[in-house]
Every structure is written in structure tokens, then in C-alpha cells.
A and B are shown apart, each in its own frame.
Chain A
Amino acid sequence: MSSSRERRHRTAGGAAGQGVRRPSIHRGVSRLVTLVLAVGFAVVGVAGAASAHHNTINGSVVCKTGGGWAVTWTVENSETRTESITASNRPSVVPVGTQLTSRQTRPFTETVTTKPTSPLTLTLSARWSNGSTNTSSGSIPVAKFEDGCKVTTVQPPTIPVIDDCGPGNARYGQVPSGPWTSVTNPDGSVTVTANQGNQFPGGKKSITYPVPADSNEPCPVPTVQPPTVPVVDDCGPGNAHYGQVPSGPWTSVTNPDGSVTVTVAAGNQFPGGQTSVTYPAPSDSNEPCPTPPVVTPPVVTPPVVAPPEVLPAEARVVSARARMIDKCGTRGDVYKVVKRSGVVYTSKGKVLRQGVWLKAGAKRVTVRAHAADASYRLQGKQVWKMTFRTRPCANAPEVAPSTGAR
């Protein structure tokens, strides 16, 4: 009769739920009015019918796979007109504003993970399109929640991250044991799924651990001691050089100036973090070589030169000389100019051969001596005028002497 009047119904065949009709102080009056209207005022009965606007709420519960309980609420519109939910004590299940059409029965489900300690109740207030309102409830006794459906909330495991030195190699380690299973995904993430009857906080059945971030911490570089390169210093000056570089985790190169640069191989370092060490060009001890066997050079006798008669800085003074033999006749007349270095003899403009007897060829022969060049200076006689007599020779004996027996 009034939208504010509340009615309590028993649920019509709800297996687990039970509708509850709320008692009214005007119950007797209402029945009386209804009876009056039924008897004499049929039109009032229509009005009385309007007071029957309500929702029949039934609830059922079953164990849910994986733990907890699955609760299904069914809300049945008792009228042939649309209603709209105006209030709900479980808005997450039946939100305010939910509409039910004419005589519609709509199911609403929810999952209950914690066993309730009191009957689970769904109370809905509704307004019908004709303006009627009603608040109806439905409850599920605690006994309907079986213990076997209990779900335990567990804390997700802490999976160690293994991050060796070097970049991009972080990964998850062994997943601690517990009521869960784990799987490593291709991208390196790990998904941990709670076993049946367990859940993670927030009702999560599984948690995916993202790919661990790599610290990119560089790996420590082993330090190696640079090699000792031997110095080869043979006897003699300026020939010191480095010998064979010992083998090791390095490469070496000899520089043009004789120094040697040793470069450590990748993944190693020299003390101080150095990657290369340059050995300066070795200094030579300049140790003299053993004295070679004495080889006596061949004695070369210098050409005999007439010793200069003056200081070496001056022109050499030389003397010239000529001889003649004047024999009888003319055939045997000869002359000779003495061989002298730095002297040139001439006769009638012709240079004379020195040191040999020359035929006179004439009664008079003039011989002149000249200095060969400016480095010589003649001393003494330089002109010889020779006269050869022409007296005939005596007649030589033609008969062989008598030198035999006497």
C-alpha cells in the first residue's frame, strides 16, 4: 500500500536461501482492507496488488575451483514492470542502478574467500517504474559454506636475483619452495602460481615477477704484470735492442725508435689499470768489442821523390843536369838529360826524353830546362849549349891481329 511498507517473503524454493517478510504494525489493518476490497471493491484489490512489489532473492553457494566459495544470487522481479536497484549492501555484486525488466530473474555471482561467521545476506532496495519501492533480502546460512573450500592466503616468495658481473645477465635464481609452482618465461620473467587452496594477497592466484633489472656492474679485470723484455746489447756502440718479448696475454710491437709497446689482451689489465706499457729504447753500454787480430797492413813503399829543398809550403827546388859525349865523327855523338821530377827539358822546342842517351845529330845542341809547373822551381844551370866536333875517326885496323902461335 505504501512504498515505504516492507514485506517479508519466504523464498520460493530457494535451495539455500530463504526470503524474509518483514512484519508490519498495520498488518491486521491491511488484511482487513484487502478483505473488504476483495468482497466489494474490486478496484481496490488492484491497488492492493500494487503493494506486492518486491524482489525474490535467493542465494546458493558451492565450492569454487581453486579455493573459496562461488556464491550465486538470483534476483527475481515480482512485477511486470521494470525496476531499478536503488540500494545494495553488496554493490560489488549488484551495483546500484541495476535494472530488472518485467518478471526478470537475474543471477549475480561473487566469490567468497573467507568463510563468513554469519549468514551472508544480500539486501536490495528497488524502485519500480510505477514508483513503488521495496526492500527485499536473501540470506545464505553459514553452514552452507563448506570448510573444504577454504583458501589460504600466502605471501609470495622472494625469488633471489642472480646478477653476475657484466651487462645484461641478471636472472632469477631458484624459486623458494612453497605452495606454489613457478615457471620462467622466455623473456626472463617468472610467474609463480599458488597451489589449490592457496592464494596470494589480494586473492591473486599468480604473480609474475618482471624481468630483473641488470646492475650492469662491470666485472673485475684481472691484473697481470707486464713482461720483462730482455735487452740484447752486443759489443760495439749503439746496437742495443730488445730481444724476444715473453709470451703472455699481450701483444707487442717494436717502434721505429727502438722502443717496444706491449698491449695487454682484452679482459686483462696491467697494474694501475693500464692497457699498454711502452718500454723506452734501451741504452747502449757501448762496451767495446774485443780487439780483432792484428793484421799487418802491407808495407807500401811510397814512390821516391826527390826531397824538397825548401819548406813544404813553398815550391820545390830542383836542379837540372845534362851530359854529352863527343866522339870522333858524328855518329857516336850523344847527350843525355838527367831524369829529374819537376823538370822538363827541351831542345829546339821539343821535349826531350830523360835518362837515356840521345844522338846529337848536329854540331850544336842547346838544351833548356824548365820547371814542370808552379810547384817547382829550378835551381842552378838551366841551359846547356853543346858543341860536337866533327873530326874524323882514325882508321880502324881491318886485319885480324895475329894472336895465334908464335
Chain B
Amino acid sequence: MTRSRAAGIVASMVLCVTAVVGQGAAHAAPDRLTIARTGTDAAIIKVPARNDTLAVGNRLRGAVYTWSKGDPPCDPTGSTVYAGHAWRAGNGVADRWGSLRRGDVIKVAGCRFEVTRREYWPASRRMGSLYSVAGPARIVLVGCKADDYSRRTVVFARKIGRS
């Protein structure tokens, strides 16, 4: 248990309030991320940041990675980032994220999100702002562009409710 979480629990006991504490620490990690349009059904794996970048794992399929200190996806505020691999030869979990359109639904940890926009960022673009703990509740999918690894597919989806 981290210090902050322990402090949150203590605070909850003292104030008798239901409190969600910490940078995603108060909630259990979402189990899976599913996207009907693209056939995505992946496990969510929390990973740390290393060298100022998200330390994603090696699984091409069936897994997406999120920052272990990132904001929980179902919080009323904040933004959660999920990264997935795209494989030029196919078989990557994010191979088809570029086909998502406005209105497509993404389900994460019991919450539903609706795609609001899709962008392609250069790999060099800083994306620390995508991890904000404030602002509207949303998730951000980040993956390499399958046909151009120098670019990133970035999909924004806002929270629309519980599943």
C-alpha cells in the first residue's frame, strides 16, 4: 500500500466520507477494454513510466497498457491513456484503431465511452497532457499507425455512463 493510499484510507476513516484517493490508486485496474467496431478485446495492464515514456509490454494482441499512476477511467474527472501495439504485418491490438469514428463505443472497467475524435500525432509530440487528473472524464487510445510507425494514432472518447 502506498503512502498516499494509506493516508486516504485514514482520511476516510476520520471523515467518514467515501473518498477516492490517489492517482488511480483507489480503484482497481480495469480488467478489459473492448471495442465492438474493431473487434478489440484486450486486457488492461498497468505499467510504470520509464525514461519519460510509458513502459509498455511486448504483447501485440489482447493487451493494452496504462500508466500505473494514471487517473482511473471511471472517475468523474480526468483522462486515462491506454496504449496498444500496432503491427504492420497485422495482428496488433491497435491495428484498426485508425478506423474508429465519432460515436463508436468503447467499454472500459464498467464504464462506456463514446469516440469524439481521432487524430494522428507525430511520434515526437509530447503527450504528458493526456494524463490529466482534471477536466472531463475521458480515455485516450494511443497506438502506432500501422502503416507509418513515425506517427501515432490518438483516439479520444468521453465518458457517457456506466455499462
Contacts and interface: CB of A to CB of B under 8 A. Distances in A.
A186 to B, nearest CB: 122
B39 interface: no
Contacts of A397: 49, 52-54, 67, 127-128, 131
Contacts of A386: 15, 17
Contacts of A406: 58, 85
A344 interface: no
A304 interface: no
Contacts of A400: 53, 121, 123-125, 127, 142, 152
B18 interface: yes
Contacts of B18: 323-324
A405 interface: yes
Contacts of A401: 53-56, 65, 83, 142
Interface in A377-403: 381, 384-387, 389, 391, 393-403
Interface string B46-83: 00010111111010000001010111000111100001
Q: Which of A357, A397, A399, A405 has the most CB of B within 10 A?
A: A397
B94 A403 contact: yes
Contact of B85 (A324, A384, A403): A403
Nearest to B14: A387
A326 B53 CA distance: 25
Interface residues of A, number: 34
B43 to A, nearest CB: 16
Contact of A396 (B15, B131, B149): B131
Given A357-B77, A397-B52, A404 B85 contact: yes
Interface of A: 322-329, 331-332, 334, 336, 357, 381, 384-387, 389, 391, 393-406
29 contacts: A323-B17, A324-B17, A325-B20, A326-B19, A327-B78, A328-B4, A334-B76, A357-B77, A381-B16, A384-B17, A387-B11, A387-B15, A389-B8, A391-B4, A393-B133, A395-B128, A396-B67, A396-B70, A397-B67, A398-B52, A398-B53, A398-B127, A401-B53, A401-B54, A403-B85, A403-B94, A403-B143, A405-B87, A405-B88
- List the 3 closest A-B pairs by CB distance, nearest first: A404-B144, A404-B149, A396-B131
